[in-house]
């Protein structure tokens, strides 16, 4: 699956869990505020723009099947809003309980400009109702290519009773934006290393190789991330989440009961 979409989902899940914990301390329901976030990331790659563009298409024009991360994907064949193309992504735990679900619509596929845009609606967390508009572009440079990524995120943040709304929203939104930026930068760095490593002779798909690199990166972040900035009770629960995506479904379900 697209790694930056996964990252956005993980970070929003953490944010929602922290807000829910604070809301439990109050007798009144939290106030919901819709906010918009923007992230831009780019990296120069020693590879042709055509090769970067091919990777973008390989990675974001999702096909039917199950991704290495455990998400099942199916085309939105009967959805008129998928006028170029689109797909639904679903992740369930071992008990077949829904963990995450989203619809992804391809909104631009410009071969001449080497640019792809998409819109993702996250259905797994109705409270945050997150929607992401993202653009991926391969720009030709004098000695290679620049891979640029633009992402606009719209989501609801729950403000617990008694918290100053403006201060709380600013802190939570900036935290989410900064964490997203960090992971997007790392995602592009992983992509750069993949493209500059030469041809793949292992038989693995682009998605599998990038996912493997991102798993290594995520494992390092698990150890570096302050535990207080996550919804996890201990470091091991966080490790389980990073290494086995379906493990989080059980934890999230237990936490909500």
Kindly write down the DSSP assignment for every residue of 135-152, as one continuous string: EEEEEEETTEEEEEEEEE
Give dist(CA 203, CA 205) in Å, integer: 7
Q: What is the pLDDT of residues 95-149, one digit of tens each?
A: 777 778 889 999 999 999 999 999 999 987 888 889 999 999 999 998 999 999 9
Which of residues 19 and 126 earns the better pLDDT score? Answer: 126
Strand partners, 31: 159
Q: Quick one: CATH architecture of 3-256? A: 2-Layer Sandwich (3.30)
- CA-based nearest residue to 216, from 176, 256, 186, 182: 186
pLDDT-based confidence at 219, cuts 50/70/90?
Answer: low
- CA-based nearest residue to 39, from 239, 174, 163: 174
Query: So what's the pLDDT on residue 201?
Result: 52
pLDDT-based confidence at 212, cuts 50/70/90?
Answer: low
Q: What is the pLDDT of residues 153-210, one digit of tens each?
A: 999 988 888 888 888 889 888 988 888 888 888 888 888 988 888 655 555 555 566 6
């Amino acid at each position: 699956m697209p790694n930056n979409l996964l990252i956005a989902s993980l970070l929003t899940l953490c944010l929602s869990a922290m807000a829910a914990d604070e809301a439990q301390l109050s007798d009144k329901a939290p106030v919901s505020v819709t906010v918009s976030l923007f992230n831009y990331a780019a990296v120069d790659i020693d590879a042709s723009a055509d090769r970067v563009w091919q990777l973008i298409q390989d990675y974001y024009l999702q096909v039917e099947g199950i991704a290495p991360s455990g998400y099942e994907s199916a085309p939105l064949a009967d959805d008129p809003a998928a006028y170029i193309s689109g797909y639904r992504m679903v992740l369930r735990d071992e008990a077949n309980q829904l963990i995450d679900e989203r619809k992804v619509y391809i909104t631009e596929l410009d071969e001449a400009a080497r640019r792809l845009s998409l819109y993702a609606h996250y259905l797994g967390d109705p409270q945050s109702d997150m929607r992401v508009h993202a653009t991926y572009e391969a720009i030709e440079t004098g000695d290679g290519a620049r891979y640029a990524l633009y992402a606009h995120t719209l989501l609801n943040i729950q403000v617990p009773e008694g918290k100053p709304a403006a201060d709380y929203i600013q802190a939570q939104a900036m935290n989410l934006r900064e964490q997203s930026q960090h992971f997007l930068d790392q995602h592009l760095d992983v992509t750069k290393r993949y493209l500059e490593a030469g041809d793949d002779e292992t038989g693995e798909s682009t998605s599998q190789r990038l996912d493997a690199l991102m798993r290594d990166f995520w494992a390092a972040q698990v150890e570096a991330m302050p535990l207080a900035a996550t919804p996890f009770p201990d470091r091991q629960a966080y490790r389980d989440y990073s290494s086995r995506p379906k493990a989080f479904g059980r934890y999230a379900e237990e936490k909500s009961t």
